[in-house]
Amino acid sequence: MFKLGLIVNPIAGLGGAAGFKGTDNPFIITEALKMGVSPQASLRAKEVFKKLTGLKDRLYIYTASGSMGGFILDELEFKGEVIYHIKEGLTTAQDTKNCARLMLDKNLDLLVFCGGDGTAVDIIDVVDMRIPILGIPAGVKMHSGVFAATPSAAAAIIREAVFLNLPYTEMEVMDIDEDAFRSGVLSAKLKGYAKVPYQPFYIQGSKTASPNLIDDRMDKEAIAKYIADIMEDGVYYILGPGTTVAAIADFLGVEKTLLGVDVIVNKRLFKKDVNESQLLSLESSKPAKIIVTVIGNQGFIFGRGNQQISSKVIRRVGIENIIIIATPYKLSTLKGLRVDTGDPELDSQFKGFLKVITGYGEKELVKVLTTSENDLTTF
């Protein structure tokens, strides 16, 4: 019997669609809920274990009660036991740590958690390198290398861990200063290392920053000039986070939220630092385009740090109206592009090759690395 620990952070990711760039602050959790943002962590955890129902006779799950994991045992009827009982109300980082501490003497084969970088830090603070871990991505900040690329990828890794006795590798656990992040400063710190099942295709890897190279800066400027030249009047341009996209705003003389999402019309700032709700409220009679860049080393264009551009927003705008930009150097660090919108059906529509603008009038076709059900190893 494969012994698996499960810890779900039910509030993880609430600050993403709301544009808060994190969920560590209790005030932000309350505000996001007031805005009508729906918790996604439990849904993403359930997505993983629905794909593992064929392993019910091989898995034994230790978890916390209710929304922290017990619902998997109750709703999907997996074998296991609740070893930590949560109190009423919102869960806290201490609940995560308390549950992880109780798992130390269970001789686990793998501890799976659902959340973001903050949840990963809470877990390694307790288990260190004593238990291998795997993250189901559900947070706003996911710079660490311990996460599966998507929930489907997490299911594939767990299956392979059960049947193939995967080796383990050490991966970085990172976290950032949320207050600085909301002010436009990305200050990521190494918090430690964790043992992770070695499956390089399905693990996202750690985020890397763009180097301050002269050629890279010139490529960003060339991309910015090209985008400015092809911008159409009367069109909403939704600008995602990142320095490559920020170069467009710099070229236009527009103030950009470096780590947020902004809207430009007629080469002028229309709305700054918007959330999902504000994007969905844009006039439907006016066409829109989305401009995003790629996360270095990971390859994500959606689902990491730009959750304001949600699946609902992408469907409203249309996949054909997405513009992807990246410098040649950044593309050289990638195996391909990744998409994790939280909507598997939408993600599957990106399958194939996407056009990436790499300079003035220069484009490259880059393959999308999918982890749909049809692409996963089955047993």
Q: Whole-angstrom distance between the N-terminal and C-terminal Cα of the chain?
A: 16
Give the per-residue pLDDT at 379. Answer: 40
Average pLDDT over residues 60-71: 96
Average pLDDT over residues 278-296: 92
Average pLDDT over residues 55-78: 96
Q: Where are the domains of the chain?
A: 2-197, 214-375
Instruction: Choose between 33 and 151: higher pLDDT.
Output: 151
What does pTM read for this prediction? 0.76
Q: What is the pLDDT of residues 172-185, one digit of tens each?
A: 998 766 555 545 55
Q: What is the pLDDT of residues 185-213, one digit of tens each?
A: 555 678 899 999 988 889 887 666 555 66
Q: State the CATH class of domain 214-375.
A: alpha beta
Fold classified for 2-197: Rossmann fold (3.40.50)
Would 2-197 and 214-375 be classified into the same CATH topology?
yes
